[in-house]
């Protein structure tokens, strides 16, 4: 049988071979999880091999295209680092420059505390002592928020804090078919963090963070956007902060190793309940990437983070600054020159 005839057969539904001696039909079906199913005929090995090559090529091209489009286009990101490393500041910069939502679990909890909710009352004492909120409670808060952002770009700040939390989060995201795409690790020296916590002020309602040393508000003590008073976090003192750093190294650092190992692995697609005994399953690499960014301040780290976003998500839309697109106001010199001409009279 010629290759041309074989290609005609491969494009028809059913792919039924009528070669002499073939008592059974050959059938090739595809599945979006990169699989190939084939029921072998009695006497058509070469023909079957040609059809198989064509089917595998078409299956891989179609399936990987859809999978890559879905995974690489959507930012599902964990901002990872020590308390006080600048996660909130950098998350706000990403939100300012890109069409991304920032989910800060710390700010969510503090908002619950301010509003005197049931969750707020449970965690208020824990945060005042520098402790960590139980996994079950944090997972419930986080996943209820993420489930409402299925196809949107988001950054998760402050969660997971333990290896168990990261595994629970991964399981939930895989179940929703929305796995993490990026983990950013902020590497800031301990002495730098401890030296600047006394200068940190926050706008509780929005989560905006200021530092009088390197990122001060335009008006001291007041939020740049709303003009509302800034406040100090109850856990922003050296003693509590030292305990938080110790807790970070003991419980949170293994998360980085977890995601680095995950990034180097290959995973099989979900099992097909209708899998044929001769089905071939092709593995693909995981989509999560881990990037470590180092610096003493958020201003130093931001250019690195901006480059990572542009290189990994080239289709990510930047926000349009309306003020930047307007014509600049006339200077006094230009205005005077216009007034001296016939056009200005």
| Sign of the four-CA dihedral 7, 12, 15, 20 | negative
Which of 76, 82, 244, 291 is flagged as catalytic? 244
DSSP state, 124?
H
Catalytic, out of 76, 87, 196, 291: 87
| Residue reference for tokens 């939502």 | 101
> Catalytic: 87?
yes
Q: Of the residues 76, 110, 161, 291, which is catalytic? A: 161
Q: Are strands 101-104 and 200-203 parallel, antiparallel or unpaired?
A: unpaired
Cis previous bond, 160, omega within 30: yes
161 is catalytic: yes
Concerning whether 24 is annotated as a catalytic residue, the answer is no
* Residue among 101, 121, 98 at smallest CA distance from 109: 121
Q: Of the residues 200, 208, 287, 291, which is catalytic?
A: 200
Spatial contact of 168 and 140, defined as CB atoms under 8 Å apart = no
Q: Are strands 200-203 and 208-211 parallel, antiparallel or unpaired?
A: antiparallel
Instruction: Exactly one of 27, 73, 145, 233 is catalytic; name it.
Output: 233
Q: Are strands 182-187 and 200-203 parallel, antiparallel or unpaired?
A: unpaired
CA distance 305 to 316: 14
Nearest residue to 100 (alpha-carbon basis) of 324, 299, 305: 305
CA-to-CA distance for 79 and 256, rounded, in angstroms?
A: 11
Task: Give the containing element (helix H, strand E) for 19.
Answer: none
Please state the length of the chain.
345
Residues taking part in catalysis: 87, 161, 200, 233, 244
């Amino acid at each position: 049988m010629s290759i041309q005839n074989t290609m005609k057969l491969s494009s028809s539904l059913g792919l039924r071979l009528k070669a002499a001696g073939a008592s059974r039909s050959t059938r090739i079906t595809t599945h979006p999880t990169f699989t190939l199913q084939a029921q072998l005929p009695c006497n058509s090995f070469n023909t079957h091999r040609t059809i198989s090559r064509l089917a595998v090529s078409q299956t891989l091209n179609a399936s990987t295209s859809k999978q890559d489009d879905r995974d690489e286009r959507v930012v599902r990101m964990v901002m990872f680092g020590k308390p006080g490393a600048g996660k909130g500041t950098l998350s706000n910069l990403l939100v300012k420059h890109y069409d991304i939502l920032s989910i800060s679990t710390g700010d969510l909890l503090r908002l619950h505390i301010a509003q005197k909710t049931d969750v707020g009352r449970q965690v208020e004492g824990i945060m005042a002592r520098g402790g960590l909120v139980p996994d079950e409670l944090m997972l419930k808060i986080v996943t209820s928020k993420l489930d409402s952002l299925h196809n949107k770009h988001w950054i998760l700040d402050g969660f997971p804090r333990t290896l168990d939390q990261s595994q629970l989060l991964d399981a939930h995201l895989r179940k929703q078919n929305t796995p993490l795409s990026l983990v950013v690790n902020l590497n800031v020296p301990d002495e730098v963090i401890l030296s600047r916590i006394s200068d940190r002020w926050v706008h509780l309602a929005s989560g905006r963070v200021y530092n009088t040393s390197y990122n001060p508000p335009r008006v001291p003590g007041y939020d740049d956007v709303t003009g509302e008073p800034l406040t100090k976090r109850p856990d922003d003192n050296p003693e509590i902060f030292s305990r938080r750093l110790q807790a970070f190294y003991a419980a949170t650092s293994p998360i980085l190793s977890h995601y680095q190992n995950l990034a180097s692995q290959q995973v099989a697609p979900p099992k097909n309940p209708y899998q044929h005994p001769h089905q071939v399953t092709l593995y693909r690499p995981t989509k999560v990437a881990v990037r470590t960014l180092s610096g003493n301040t958020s201003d130093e780290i931001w250019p690195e983070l901006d480059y990572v976003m542009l290189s990994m998500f080239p289709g990510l839309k930047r926000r349009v600054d309306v003020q930047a697109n307007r014509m600049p106001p006339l200077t006094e010199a230009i205005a005077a020159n216009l007034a001296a001409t016939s056009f200005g009279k």
